Amino acid sequence: MSAKPSERSKEHQAQAPTDDGGRYAQVTGVAVGLLLAAGATPALAWEPTKRVEIVVAAGAGGASDQMARMMQAAIQKNGLMKAPIVVSLKGGASGAEALMYMKSSDGDANKVLIGLFPDLHAAALGENSLQLARPHTRGRRGDGSVRPVGQCGRSKVGQGLHRRCEGCRVSFKMGGTGSKREDMCSRYSWKKKTGAKFSYLPYKSGGEAATQLVGTTRIQRQ
């Protein structure tokens, strides 16, 4: 709800992401007017006629943001949709800002939320006072705040740290954007399996984490 006034300022009208060189700059200039080939979709199928907003439940430059922009570019370059498409960042309160925004947009099919599932789940659980139930996958229809329409990919993370922490007296510094969420889960499972210790540096987005952590990774012997 509080998200509304700042909405406009946070939108990115087909801009190239600042942290990703000019890779998307070339494609964002392509006209959106490539019409769908006749017969590509059934004649009566609904499609949006006004601007579609991809709502990112994470910070600028993070993985969700990058993926949203990639999809924006893919849609425009391949003429997959006639309506214009924008990306808006609503990463406040660990993604709860985006959930509230979607919750206040019931029935508005011109908005699509993108986010990592554990993050959104954690954000929803952390906002119980706002009556944001868990996403619509358990329980009755209609008791959740959002509804899954599709899913793109499962991420893998390869840090190579595990090899060194076997049986270990080693302390690691871990930095990331998933404080109290996925980073805590993964940290806990490593700790349980190996006894390794971690200290944690929380960052606001993957972009920030990458910038801050590049060149600083090291193993600290106790």
Partner 1 sequence: MFDKERISYTTKVSETQSWNDIPTCKEEGLDVQYLMLRAMFCPEKSARSKQAFYVDLFQKIAQTPEYKEYMEKQALKPVFLKGRRCSNSLKRMMR
Residue in 162, 180, 212, 220 binding partner 1, rule: CB under 8 A: 162
The tally of CA atoms less than 13 A away on the side-chain side of residue 160 is 3
Using an 8 Å Cβ cutoff, are 28 and 15 in contact?
yes
Give the 3-state secondary structure of residue 97.
helix
Among 16, 63, 87, 209, binds partner 1 (CB under 8 A): 63
Among 21, 43, 46, 218, binds partner 1 (CB under 8 A): 46
Longest CA span, the chain: 67
Count of residues that bind partner 1 according to CB under 8 A: 69
Residue linked to tokens 């972009």: 207
- The CA radius of gyration of the chain, in Å to the nearest whole number, is 20
Taking the complex as a whole, how short is the minimal distance between the CB of residue 222 and partner 1, in angstroms?
20
The one among 17, 59, 60, 64 contacting partner 1 by CB under 8 A: 64
Cβ neighbours of residue 43 closer than 8 Å, sequence gap 6 or more: none
Task: Give the interface with partner 1 as residue ranges (CB under 8 A).
Answer: 27, 41, 45-48, 63-64, 66-67, 70-71, 73-75, 77-78, 80-81, 102-103, 105-109, 111-118, 120-121, 134-138, 142, 144-158, 160, 162-163, 165-166, 182, 185-186, 189-190, 193-194
